[in-house]
C-alpha cells in the first residue's frame, strides 16, 4: 500500500483522484468497479473507478486491459499517455453521455462569430491580467500588462495577446528583490531549454483537466471559439485554458527558484497538485478541478446568451517571494 501512495495523488472527497504510473511496469485492469494495479502479478493497490479523474501513464512497459479503459471512460476520466521525453503525448477522453449533448452541439455550432469574438476578448484579457499578477506589482512590465489588458478588443484583432506575451516572458523569472524591472534571458519555446519542459508538462495536465470538464458538460472540445486547427481535437480546451496557463507558470517558477528545472517524479507531483490548488471564481473559492466545472458552466450560459460575462478562475496569490530566497 505504501508503494500505491507513490502512484496516486489522493485529493479531498470533493474532487477526483489523479493516478500517475511511472516508477515500474504495471498492469491496469478492473474488477468489481475497482481499478486494479499489479506488478509482476502482485496487486499493489486498487482504487474505485468513480473516484478517478485522470490517469497518466509514463512507463512504456505498462499494459492496460480494454475493460479498464472502458470503465475509466464510463466515469468520465481522462487517460493520458506520455512519450520518451516524459511529456504527455496523447489523451483519451470519453464520448459524453450528457442529457443535452445534441442541444449543446447545436449551441456550439450556431454560436455567432461576434459572440465568439466577445468571449475570446474576455479570455485574452483574463490571461494578460493573470500574467501581470505573476510579475512584481507596480513594476514597469506589470503596468504595461495592465494597460494592454484594458485595451483588448473583440476577437483581439490587434493581437494584444502576443504583445503581452513578449513582455511577460522577458520578465517572468525576475525576482522581487531587483524591483521587477530587470529583464532576463529566458525564452519560451516548446522544445527549448529548461524549464520549458516543466511548462509543457503542466500545460498538458491543465489541458486534460479542461477537456474533461468540457466533455462532462456535453460540449464538443474540438469546436473552438478561436483555435481552429483542423487536426486539433481539443481546440475549445486550448481556448478555455489560456487564462489558466499563468497558474502553471507560477508553480514552475517556484520549482525553478528552488533548483528544479527538469521533469522528474518530484516536479510531476508538484504540477499534478495544481489540480487541488485553491482558486477564486466569481465570489467563491475552491480546488481548481472543481472550479473548472463552474468555468465551463459559465461558458455554456454565455453561449446560450443567458449570461454575458464568463466566470474565469484565477490564482489567489502573487509572486512567491519565499521561493525566491526572500523572507
Cell numbers that stand for 246 in this block: 499563468
**CATH for 73:** 3.100.10.20
Q: What is the mean pLDDT of the chain?
A: 86
Parallel, antiparallel or unpaired: strands 63-64 and 42-48: unpaired
Backbone angles phi, psi at 47, to 5 degrees: -135, 135
Q: Cα 12–215–226 angle (5° rounding)?
A: 115
Same domain as 159, residue 227: yes
Boundary of a domain, candidates 40, 70, 92: 92
CA–CA separation, 210 and 218 (whole Å): 13
The verdict on residue 59 lying in a domain is yes
221 and 256 co-located in one domain:
yes
Mean pLDDT of 301-323: 77
Q: Do 87 and 112 sit in the same domain of this protein? A: no
What pLDDT, on the 0 to 100 scale, is given for residue 320?
43
Parallel, antiparallel, or unpaired: how do β-strands 78-82 and 63-64 relate? unpaired
Residues 63 and 177 in one domain: no
Tell whether 115 and 79 lie within a shared domain: no
Q: Which domain holds residue 33?
A: 2-92
Count CB atoms within 10 A of the CB of residue 166: 10
Average pLDDT over residues 219-231: 90
Instruction: Give the H/E segment covering residue 81.
Output: strand 78-82
pLDDT 10s digits, 265-308: 899 999 999 998 888 877 778 889 889 999 999 999 999 999 99
Other C-beta atoms closer than 10 Å to the C-beta of 14 total 10
For residues 131 and 183, state if they share a domain: yes
| Whether residue 21 is found in the same domain as residue 128 | no
pLDDT at 202: 95
236: in domain: yes
The model's pTM? 0.82
Sign of CA dihedral 176, 182, 184, 187: positive
- Over residues 42-49, mean pLDDT: 92
Q: Which of 71, 92, 113 is the last residue of a domain?
A: 92
CATH number of the CATH domain containing 245? 1.20.120.920
Residue 180 lies in a domain: yes
Q: How many CB atoms lie within 10 A of CB 138?
A: 10
pLDDT of residue 326: 38
Could you give the number of structural domains in the chain?
2
Q: Which of 64, 92, 120 is the last residue of a domain?
A: 92
Whether residue 83 is found in the same domain as residue 112: no
If asked whether residues 268 and 208 sit together in one domain, one would say: yes
pLDDT of residue 153: 97
Amino acid at each position: 500500500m505504501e508503494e500505491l501512495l507513490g502512484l496516486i495523488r489522493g485529493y479531498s472527497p470533493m474532487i477526483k483522484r489523479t493516478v500517475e504510473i511511472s516508477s515500474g511496469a504495471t498492469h491496469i485492469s478492473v474488477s468489481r468497479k475497482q481499478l486494479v494495479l499489479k506488478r509482476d502479478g502482485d496487486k499493489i493497490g486498487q482504487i474505485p473507478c468513480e473516484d478517478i479523474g485522470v490517469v497518466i501513464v509514463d512507463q512504456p512497459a505498462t499494459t492496460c486491459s480494454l475493460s479498464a479503459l472502458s470503465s475509466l471512460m464510463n466515469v468520465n476520466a481522462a487517460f493520458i499517455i506520455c512519450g520518451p521525453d516524459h511529456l504527455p503525448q496523447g489523451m483519451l477522453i470519453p464520448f459524453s453521455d450528457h442529457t443535452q449533448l445534441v442541444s449543446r452541439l447545436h449551441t456550439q455550432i450556431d454560436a455567432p462569430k461576434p459572440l465568439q469574438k466577445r468571449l475570446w476578448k474576455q479570455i485574452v484579457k483574463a490571461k494578460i491580467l493573470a500574467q501581470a499578477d505573476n510579475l512584481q506589482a507596480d513594476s514597469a512590465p506589470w503596468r504595461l500588462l495592465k494597460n494592454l489588458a484594458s485595451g483588448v478588443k473583440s476577437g483581439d484583432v490587434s493581437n494584444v495577446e502576443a504583445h503581452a506575451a513578449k513582455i511577460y516572458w522577458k520578465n517572468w523569472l525576475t525576482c522581487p528583490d531587483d524591483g521587477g524591472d530587470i529583464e532576463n534571458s529566458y525564452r519560451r519555446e516548446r522544445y527549448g531549454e529548461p524549464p520549458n519542459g516543466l511548462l509543457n508538462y503542466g500545460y498538458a495536465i491543465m489541458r486534460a483537466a479542461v477537456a474533461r470538464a468540457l466533455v462532462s458538460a456535453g460540449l464538443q472540445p474540438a469546436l473552438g471559439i478561436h483555435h481552429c486547427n483542423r487536426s486539433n481535437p481539443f481546440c475549445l480546451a486550448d481556448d478555455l485554458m489560456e487564462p489558466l496557463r499563468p497558474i502553471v507558470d507560477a508553480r514552475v517558477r517556484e520549482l525553478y527558484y528552488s533548483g528544479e528545472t527538469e521533469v522528474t517524479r518530484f516536479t510531476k507531483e508538484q504540477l499534478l497538485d495544481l489540480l487541488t490548488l485553491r482558486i477564486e471564481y466569481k465570489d467563491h473559492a475552491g480546488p481548481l478541478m472543481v472550479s473548472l466545472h463552474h468555468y465551463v458552466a459559465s461558458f455554456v450560459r454565455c453561449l446560450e446568451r443567458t449570461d454575458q460575462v464568463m466566470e474565469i478562475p484565477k490564482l489567489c496569490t502573487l509572486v512567491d517571494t519565499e521561493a525566491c530566497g526572500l523572507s
